[in-house]
Structure 1
Amino acid sequence: MRILMVEDADDLAEGVIAHLARSGVVCDLAPSIEDARDARAVQRYDAVILDINLPDGSGLSLLREMRAAADRTPVLMLTALASVDDRVEALDQGADDYLGKPFDQRELEARLRALVRREADRKEEQIQLGGLSYAPKDRSALLDGRRLDLTRREAALLDALIRHQGQFLSKERLYDSLYGFEDTDVGVNAIELYIARLRKKFAGSGVSIATRRGVGYRIGRDE
């Protein structure tokens, strides 16, 4: 899951990002509306955490832009404005949920996961590929009936590959599924390491990851 947090309070944002990272959630930070527009122009997000009071205007203006463009990405409003009128206005503008500051990190994470599940019911289903059974809801996998032991990076990589089975995905696209904008110390070639780890776990199962030079990687059944 990849989240965009539009928030100008650095301490608050850093705490949220660190908490979500421990659950395997990638969270990019945009401290302004303009930064949020730039991030959304190059990346698709599963949900947006949006503050109302931002340096360059109201977060509600970004929310209105999204809904006017038929963008149904779930939006969780996060703000110190806690009056009923503020909540009603945000929900009327198209927000999916509302959480006032201060808040519990666990509640924030739970609300995000609920929004993403509600937006995509297919996440409740199992994806089958030969002897591999994958549950997107909790990123767990069974291989020939036995649970696969996956790190959170491996699970994120498998999630991206299996959702697009039959298609080649570039290193850059897979990298975006595993790392946030702040992970500048990790190069795109790290994907090769995680591909190798998954291949080792799939050995002899009939499921494989093919490489096409200059194009990317594709998961599928052995031919």
Structure 2
Amino acid sequence: MITIKTAQQIELMAEAGKILAACHRELREIIRPGITTLQIDHFAEHFIRSHGAKAEQKGYQGYPFATCASVNDEICHGFPTQTPLREGNIVTIDMVVNLNGWLADSAWSYPVGEISEKAEKLLKVTKGCLYFGINKAVLGNRLGDISHAIQIHAESHGFSEVRDFTGHGIGHNMHEAPQVLHYGHPNKGVRLFEGMVFTIEPMINMGSYGLTIDRNEWTARTADGSLSAQYEHTIAITKNGPLVLTEQD
């Protein structure tokens, strides 16, 4: 069942979103060759705690870290490690902030130093997929309109959209109804109405959308070894259009 949020509840989620966005802004400055994803994880957890909030992912269904840190061919749920990032890598940092019981969720892909033109294109197109999807998140549209916009943009550039993971409703709980697919047909699915809050989080692969799961039973990576990127925002449906609760700029 989809839980509708009041304007006051959305504002509480926006406060969590501000902390999350501020953390991502700080990560822009520290992600460089030589840093480890475990150092990034520790930084993010300390930053979130220092702002009176909690890293909601830590302990979720046994997940042991405050962030997911997915490098290169890792699609999502990558474990932070002590392996230094190298020039040319891309890394996605995904985190969920809990502030007084209300959550916000956002992932962002970062270049590590100078990256290839192909990798730059993947990041640009993936971010574009996110915002094309957000632009369709208006009253009267359906979830399929969001999904279709993402799919068309990704595939028009020769990339593929991951189909095994989705966006999701969010509020007091990290994963609520509805599921938000990143592929599909326009004018299909649940109609959007005021007070819905959910994530849009396209994961776009340079190769095919097939994936495998690592032995840790968490980390998904591309089956063909191609690069994968992800950008995610938490948004609310309002009468004035989509409200991004985790906007960084």
- Range class of TM-score, shorter chain: under 0.3
Structure of greater relative contact order (alpha carbons < 8 Å, 6+ residues apart): 2
Greater helix share, 1 or 2? 1
Give the number of the structure whose alpha-carbon radius of gyration is greater. 1
Output the TM-score relative to the length of structure 1.
0.28
Output the TM-score relative to the length of structure 2.
0.26
